[in-house]
Amino acid sequence: AKRSSKITGSKVKQNSNKQGTQAKKQPNSTYKEKSLKTVKNGYRQLRIGIDFGTSFSKVVVGVESGGGFVVIKSPNNKENCLFPSVLFYHKSSNSYSLFKKRGYTEISDLKINLIDKLKSAKLSDIYSSEEFKRCAIYLSLLVNQARNYFEENRSDMRRFHLKWGLTLGFPSAPSKKGFNKCEKVFKKLSEVSILLNETKPSEYFSQIDLFLKDIPNAKKKALELVDCDWGFIYPEILSQVVVLN
């Protein structure tokens, strides 16, 4: 009997060591597994689709496995589902808004200015530019608006752990080289806009630089705050079609 217990104990020790080694090999997987196990009612995968237009943008949120979708509407006009592609900036508080407020200055032509930058600048110069950062901030505010609106209007989802993802439309380009460059920039935009969603508005610009230096590490830290899936990109309005299907 004593011999049997020793063998069993040895096997348990070996198994625990093996599991520990496996955990070390996969450090990024532990948070997701733990977070989903602790939710009694399970989780739901949600995908935010943004058609980022030059004048207006449209946002929808789709739920996995035929759970329906919600078209995000403006809090200022419940009949309007189009968001002007502009930012409003308050200098003294260093904060941004999707909506016009007292003391805020309008920043327009967000997408047009970024596309102009795409035509001539190197990728490194694009990522450090105000044009890129302003678009990232705008998209992040849209993501935040979508999350809040969805949670307010889909009370049936409150009992679930919500896993958010983003699908972003990107413009077509006249050449394969231009297409690849545009694809890289908008992929970065989708990732940064999710990361910014958990950042203080006054720290937006400085945080974007930190994120771009080490996107994988930034994603790992972000998972400690919100369970999210990372950005996918599709040509223009297909971002909404993908979400709805």
Q: What is the pLDDT of residue 178?
A: 76
Q: What is the pLDDT of residue 238?
A: 53
Distance in angstroms (rounded) separating the CA atoms of residues 187 and 182 = 8
Residue pLDDT, tens place only, 80-138: 889 999 999 999 988 999 999 999 999 999 999 999 999 889 999 999 999 999 999 99
Distance linking the first and last C-alpha atoms of the chain: 61
Model pTM score? 0.74
Pair of tokens at residue 73: 């509407």
Confidence of residue 26 (pLDDT cuts 50, 70, 90): very low
Residue-averaged pLDDT of the chain? 75
Residue pLDDT, tens place only, 130-161: 999 999 999 999 999 998 888 888 888 888 88
Determine what percent of the chain is predicted with pLDDT higher than 90. 27
Residue pLDDT, tens place only, 168-218: 887 776 666 777 888 889 988 888 888 887 777 778 888 888 888 887 777
- Name every residue whose Cβ is closer than 8 Å to that of residue 76 and which is 6 or more positions away in sequence: 99
In the predicted structure, residue 1 carries a pLDDT above the cut 50: no
Q: If DSSP codes are grouped into helix, strand and coil, which group holds residue 244? A: helix
Confidence of residue 36 (pLDDT cuts 50, 70, 90): very low
Residue pLDDT, tens place only, 177-186: 777 888 889 9
Pair of tokens at residue 145: 């608006």
